[in-house]
A = this chain, B = another copy of it.
Amino acid sequence: MAAARGRCELVTITTTPLAAAYAFCFLIMTSLLCYVAEGTPAWFWGGGGDDPYCLTWRVMVEANNAKGWRAVPPQCVAYVATYMAWGQYHRDVAAVAGQAAAYATQINNNAPAADGLDAWVLDVDDTCLSNHPYYQAKQFGPYDPAAFKTWASRGVCPGIPAVQWLFQTLKGRGFRVFLVTGRDEDTLGPSTAANLLATGFSGYDRLIMRGAAQRGVSSVVFKSGVRKQLAEEEGYRIRGNVGDQWSDLQGCCVGDRVFKVPNPMYYVP
């Protein structure tokens, strides 16, 4: 980039108005072309996105090929910030919610069973509620438990519009909806419940949080246990399961179909 910028520097020496006009034109056009080239948009270089490396990385995250990463790669912080804030993230979530709603329509010929046991499981963080403001402020850096707890305890996470819509759609069709989160119940229970209520997530069947007995247990193990209880002990048929982490969607009793909500901000093993 520095080299490209270097090539674009111009020194113009003008003597007549005509020459000045042409020089001005050349200067502006060259600057514009340099700006375009430095942004390396996909159509210019022929890639599939605005930053080929970071797009590759993001797709690997979504397809669960990239695992165990502790922070957004430094060269992709600006890319992730743009992705989250400028529309593509919300388009992606809306498309996933649309797939989930279309699938829900097919279940039982658009009529959940009369026994009231057709259920969906939704994750909370960055599925129902957005932590984007927090992670943006932290520049998508590594997980900081204390700072995150302070943020979450404020109960001010925005709702994610497409999932708010999906939640209402599922409720409206008569599905039981369980919200399952690894958040600690003792410390974050009231703020999480209030945050959900304030963002329109009301009328769910149960908010299931991590209790004292599950502290330190991995997300897959904790959530598998919750789903096993719902499915095997309580008899619910988990028709769909929506989460932003693959650890929400793997392990026991994942449900008939899982939906991966995009999240390039952090990874939960």
Contacts and interface: CB of A to CB of B under 8 A. Distances in A.
A95 interface: yes
A77 to B, nearest CB: 14
A1 B95 CA distance: 23
Nearest to A59: B62
A18 B257 CA distance: 67
B36 A25 contact: no
Contact of A52 (B17, B22, B55, B88): B88
Interface residues of A, number: 54
A193 interface: no
Nearest to A64: B260
Interface stretch (A41-49, A135-143, A216-224, A226-234): A41-49
Given A17-B18, A62-B63, A48 B260 contact: no
Number of identical protomers: 2
A43 B32 contact: no
A50 interface: yes
A56 interface: yes
B99 A66 contact: yes
Contacts of A45: 86-87
Choose among A17, A56, A57, A82 the residue with the greatest number of B CB atoms under 10 Å from its CB.
A56
B260 A47 contact: no
Dominant secondary structure at the A interface: helix
Given A46-B82, A50-B48, A92 B56 contact: yes
B32 A41 contact: no
A28 B39 CA distance: 20
Contacts of A83: 48
A21 interface: yes
Nearest to A83: B48
A262 interface: yes
Contact of A96 (B24, B42, B60): B60
25 contacts: A17-B18, A28-B29, A32-B33, A41-B43, A41-B50, A42-B42, A42-B49, A43-B50, A43-B82, A46-B82, A47-B86, A48-B83, A48-B86, A49-B49, A52-B88, A52-B91, A57-B95, A59-B62, A59-B92, A60-B95, A60-B99, A62-B63, A63-B262, A65-B95, A67-B257
Interface of A: 17-18, 21-22, 24-25, 28-29, 32-33, 36, 39, 41-50, 52-53, 55-60, 62-67, 79, 82-83, 85-89, 91-92, 95-96, 99, 257-260, 262
